[in-house]
Structure 1
Amino acid sequence: RKAAEQTPFSGSVTLQWREASVLRTDQLTVKGTHGTLLAQGQRSAMAIGAERLVYSPADGWQELWPAGLGSPGHPNLDVAYDVRTAGTDHVAGYPTDVVEVLKAGVVRDRLDLEAATKLLLRRRQYDSKGVLERAFTFEQIQIGDLSMAPPTTPPAPKRAGPRRLPFGAVPASEREPSRLAAGYRRLGAYRQGGVVQLVYSDGLYDLSLFQQQGGLDTGDLPAQRRTTRLDGRPAWAFSWPGGEGIVWTAGRTVYTLVGDVPADELTEVAASVSVHPSTSVMHRLRQACRGLVESFTGAF
């Protein structure tokens, strides 16, 4: 991350990601200098310091993460992972040092760092069985051109990002454990409109758990979703170049868990989320009768 902030570069990248058994591919161009990074493809994204923006033709530039919030931080990598060197290679004509990141003895990430600058030129992510989940690879890159102009900053992105919540301000019905399965620790709580976002990390991958009161409109789900089950409940999983997601409901709450993690680990973590089941019909009838009685007696 520090190398990407300090080293000017531009190039073309091939993305790969798995949707169930299908490995999909896309290309984009990337440019980074002076702490600003721009990725352009079917959908563009920009990082300006800690601020994160995304562009779509319909809505223009929108703010995903305000600069003022900063980073939620991360636990130490060595709590859940082991890191080891794994020789050398070449990517886009540059020599690289290869680093492997292991969890429970299984290689989960293989990173190619450019030998001189330590810029990340290739990343390959694997699930717990060693199957490739997603990858990005620079096919062509120019490194270290100090005359490179920074990407043009959007003049007026829509300011719709989340705001930080003290954890005590999170409604009790939407609080989750400070830790989830697979070593994920809660880092912060945020709110955007009626949606509460809890951020978790295991030191390498980040997860966001979104909770919103109300019903689920399946028309809002991604078109390429996959139907699955989570602790006996229907759920919908989906993949995109940057990560995985899963959506499910319990009672009157819609849960969405997303992150740059392998699909099998995301499902494991989702199963550890404490959900709030719907009250029974009889309980709701009793509550209605209680309310009716209290309306006559003046009880509180």
Structure 2
Amino acid sequence: MAVAISAGVVGAAVCAAFVYAAGPGRDPDDQLVDPGSIDRTQRALSAAEQPAMQLLQRAVDASRDVFYAGTKVLTSPTSSAYVDIWHVPGRGTTSKVESGSLDSDTPSGQLEGDPVDDGLDDLVLATLTHGYSLAVMGDADCVGRSTSVVEARSLSTHQLAAKLWLDDATGLLLRRQLFDDAGHIVRSTSYVDIKVGSAAARNPDSANPPSPDGGSPPVGKKTTAPAMTVPAAKLLTDAQVSQLRAQGWPLPDVLPGGMQRYEAYELTDASGPVIQLSFSNGLFSSSLFVQHGQLDVRNLRGVHPEQLGDASVYASSGLYRTLTWAGGDTVYTLVSDAPASVADSAVTALPHRAPDTSVLGRIGRGIARVASWVNPFD
């Protein structure tokens, strides 16, 4: 998502380090009856936390306004990838996988939306304060640049959840490490080379970077390989999400693990409308794609079946976990950088009982494509 982040601030900590929020409610007939409630307020910060929040808020502006180009390496316990990144203010972020794999279906060289866009968002920062405390822990050198290091710790356990390196000159987030409750790094993102401003503009690779058709990136600052087509996307307001929900779309506002919805989009595909919801708890991020139809498992590719409680899902793994399942006459696809236990809990919190029959269209071939449409962490 990205798996959306203007959002995903910062990637990952483990489930034990979360202040868990209740997931959406559903009735015995597997219908979504309670989407949950979004809290967009920022927790009152202590005087010691204020400097750290100021640095993060500066990073919000930097991720939008600074011209930069570079290469970052993404790592998880099982996967890694090198990705070239270009950001042009007013045009968005594009990227290209140089080596490694973001997931089982992403080959090297394919253009992708920034898989872990380090841009921040005001709502994501507010959500971060619900579960974590913040502190500036000093200075450090990163990619030959002077940075300030910010730590996030669980409010409930005080365990270290994240370390962030923020460029002193521009405010850009240059490096992040995310930890489990045993202190082990479970995910990291770090630039190995970066140029900013006029230096980035002089970089031959960034003089004419890959750019979305029409000059403006579609949802999630996504670009794709020439053979792929990204459907038209419309940003939805809260009122429009509520209207769709009243029309029968099962659209949650919260997911387990303290995940809150911060953006929603309606995409138009050949198989019909698709709603994409972006969630974050301030560290982890997820995107949920919702389509009306019946899941056609015969046409699923690159996934394996799993049983999560009484839910039958089809999963794939890499740097992100992708889960597809049926719930009533609806097909869900979740793309997440959260630990498996957190992503899996979203399945059991949402409707997950497939109907015996359906008069709606069968959905199968397009599932892998759906997850690639939008940066799941944006």
The normalised TM-score by structure 2 is: 0.56
Question: What is the percentage of aligned positions where both structures have the same residue?
Answer: 26
For 1:207, the equivalent position in structure 2 comes to 286
CA distance in 2, matches of 1:205, 1:244: 12
Distance change >3 Å, CA 222–CA 92, structure 1 → 2: farther
Distance change >3 Å, CA 280–CA 170, structure 1 → 2: same
2:248 paired with 1:169: no
Match of 1:84 among 135, 138, 141: 135
Q: Which structure is richer in relative contact order (CA contacts within 8 A, separation 6 or more)?
A: 2
Secondary structure class of the residue paired with 1:265: helix
Please give the per-residue CA displacement for 1:35-76, whole angstroms capped at 9, x wherever unaligned: 4433222222358xxxx9xxxxxxxxxxxxxxxxxx895444
2:97 paired with 1:44: no
Q: Is the 8 A contact 1:9 1:31 kept in 2?
A: yes
Matches within 5 A, 1:213-252: 213-218=292-297, 221=300, 223=302, 225=303, 227-241=305-319, 243-252=320-329
Match of 1:5 among 54, 59, 64: 64
Instruction: Give the counterpart letter for 1:44 in structure 2.
Output: L
Question: Post-superposition shift, 1:168?
Answer: 2.0
For 1:181, the equivalent position in structure 2 comes to 256
Count of aligned residue pairs for this structure pair: 252
Question: Post-superposition shift, 1:123?
Answer: 1.7
Please give the per-residue CA displacement for 1:64-114, whole angstroms capped at 9, x wherever unaligned: xxxxxxx89544421222222233332222232221223343333221112
CA distance in 2, matches of 1:72, 1:24: 30
For 1:123, the equivalent position in structure 2 comes to 176
For 1:136, the equivalent position in structure 2 comes to 189
Instruction: Give the counterpart letter for 1:25 in structure 2.
Output: S
CA distance in 1, matches of 2:356, 2:63: 53
Largest Rg, 1 or 2: 1
Q: Which structure 2 segments of 5+ residues have no match? A: 1-59, 98-108, 116-120, 202-206, 216-228, 358-378
CA distance in 2, matches of 1:11, 1:147: 8
The normalised TM-score by structure 1 is: 0.68
Matches within 5 A, 1:3-42: 3-18=62-77, 23-35=78-90, 36-41=92-97, 42=109
Instruction: Give the counterpart letter for 2:338 in structure 1.
Output: V
Distance change >3 Å, CA 156–CA 8, structure 1 → 2: closer
CA distance in 1, matches of 2:300, 2:356: 27
Secondary structure class of the residue paired with 1:182: coil
Give the CA RMSD over aligned residues: 3.4
Secondary structure class of the residue paired with 1:174: coil
